[in-house]
Structure 1
Amino acid sequence: MLNGAVLSLTLLATLSLSDLTLGRMLWAERNGAAVLLNPRRFGQEHPQVISDLGSACPGQVCGVLAGSAITPLLAAQGECTQQDMADRIIDESKQFDAATQANMLALAKVYRQAEKNTPPDFTTNPPTPRNSVFCQKAPKHPELNCLVQKQDPANDPNLFFDPAKNQASVKKGTQANTQPFCQNNQANVQKGGNNKATTPTNTTNTETQTQSSSSPSVCVIYPYLFSI
């Protein structure tokens, strides 16, 4: 018993005098460099909609969907991955009853508008918060038309982070994806519609004027019957 107590005291004394490192902090690395982790605003690492989605339907379907729904919100993901995920939620809802479908559709809409993680521009001091770029294709399901992810109001409204451009900032207006697809599409339709509406009118007027000026005079004979 005494030997055990002496051994314990000796061990504690040795540890207290030692300069050896007994543990170290692990930091994520990529290509030999530390990866900067940027926390999302107001709990965006795991928004409430993901938890709600996990329990939205019976079986394993919604649990799998909830697990898959986290990745599209990460900064490095493509501009349309979040919309594609929302379309997938609606696809999977078709196998359930009407009430479950309605709930999953509502969650898909909420998820589509969830804020996406974007790193700030570290080339400025202090770093400048940036917006995420917008998907430039129509969703599969019309219920998602013109829905886009929210942006942090603290972001610089003229700066965007495009994962396809590495870390370089993109200025608003220099790329189509700095504006929602719905707005770009409506602008194109209106522009095309005005041209189509104007051209036929001018053509018709020209043809009418040409016909009226070049048409020869026509003599019309009206027959009359005389009875004697």
Structure 2
Amino acid sequence: MVPSNSFKVKRISCKLSESGVEESATSNRVSNSNNRMEDYNTVMKGMMRNPYEYHHDLGMNYALITDHLIVGSQPQKPEDVDHLKQEENVAYILNLQQDKDVEYWEVDLPSIIKRCKELEIRHMRRPARDFDPDSLRSGLPKAVSSLEWAISEGKGKVYVHCTAGLGRAPAVAIAYMFWFCGMDLNTAYDTLTSKRPCGPSKQAIRGATYDLAKNDPWKEPLESLQNVLLKMLRIGRGT
């Protein structure tokens, strides 16, 4: 999905019994994990209409998008938080998953949040439904607001993730670059996908942009949308 030098790969090792046959419990866990990934990727390809896949068994993966912004897959254990802090100087984690996403992958989120607190990393949640462009569209303003606030604090990098880091998280990063970094939508989209190949919903970002412009009480022209968004999104940012 991304160049090998862009993320840290972790692999599952299967223990063998003395007879050389995998222990049944381990075998069942691996089988269940493989089935879970296969089911997830089948749904993702069908709903998002792109060929990208998520390989949970390879561990957390990510790409540096800007000097202050990283987009990736879900941290799976507290050690992933240590890696982000020590290797990438991450000071904020923006999590776009719903509770059911975390439960599906059997990730112990409380232990990850606990480790974030211990390392003084601010953990923020802005849930959006997976594979749902309407949910993403409605959730983008608050998610981008939290991202803009965290970056503006200047304390370290922001790690934005969903489950696979291929839909919701890159969409938030693209919307941020579009709304706040002086890029048009196509440039922001191409900038991110050149560093992390993925297929987030461009239509959801367009829709969220339209919603914000439409709801501006001053009805300012679309060309000045970045200033409008900055004014609107700062309300309640980081909450």
Q: Taking structure 2 as the reference length, what is the TM-score of the superposition? A: 0.24
Q: Greater helix share, 1 or 2? A: 2
Q: Greater strand share, 1 or 2? A: 2
Structure number with larger C-alpha Rg: 1
Q: Larger relative CO (CA 8 A, sep 6+): 1 or 2?
A: 2
